[in-house]
Amino acid sequence: MSIFVKALLLVIVFVAGYTLPYLTPEKVAFSNQLVPKTQSECIWDNKVCISKNYKLTIYRGNFSPLAKTTFGLIGDGVTDLDDTLLVTSDDQRFGIIEAYKSHDGQYSVLIPFCSNDRMRIIIFSVGGVAIKLPEQV
């Protein structure tokens, strides 16, 4: 192979490597916030999890590892929460992840790989009450 072809391939690889992060979907952003001690249990009714103060609706996914989940959250009559939502598990094996808020008020999150298939997902905002989902979503 000529030196020109090798140089061209090298340039293409570098350009692809630098532009790929901007073309792919949002990244997983971790947080160092603490999980609130007050956690509200919720009960599933189809794709809606209802707790004392919140109603969580799953639009796509089921909080399984390596799968994107899209959900909405209504709290105390407020349909649009301005807070950043954080997602973790009861064993906190994958840390605390920030949920990405889209323009239509829905949130999405990608749970990293985790070997615990019986974990319970916890969703909370800073200074708010946490929602603890049942084992099976």
Tens-digit pLDDT profile for residues 73-117: 887 655 445 678 899 988 888 888 888 888 788 899 988 877 777
Q: List, for residues 50-68, the tens digit of each pLDDT value.
A: 888 788 899 998 888 888 8
Q: Which residues contact 86 (CB under 8 A, 6 or more apart)?
A: 31, 33, 96, 97, 98, 99, 123, 124, 125, 126
Token code pair at residue 112: 């990293």
Ordered structural domains, the chain, with CATH = 27-132 (2.60.40)
How far is the CA of 56 from the CAs of 23, 113, 122, in angstroms? 30, 23, 12
C-alpha–C-alpha distance, residues 83 and 67, integer Å: 23
Global pTM exceeds 0.75: no
Please name the helix (run of DSSP H) or strand (run of DSSP E) that holds residue 7, with its range, or none: helix 3-23
For residue 62, what is the DSSP state? -
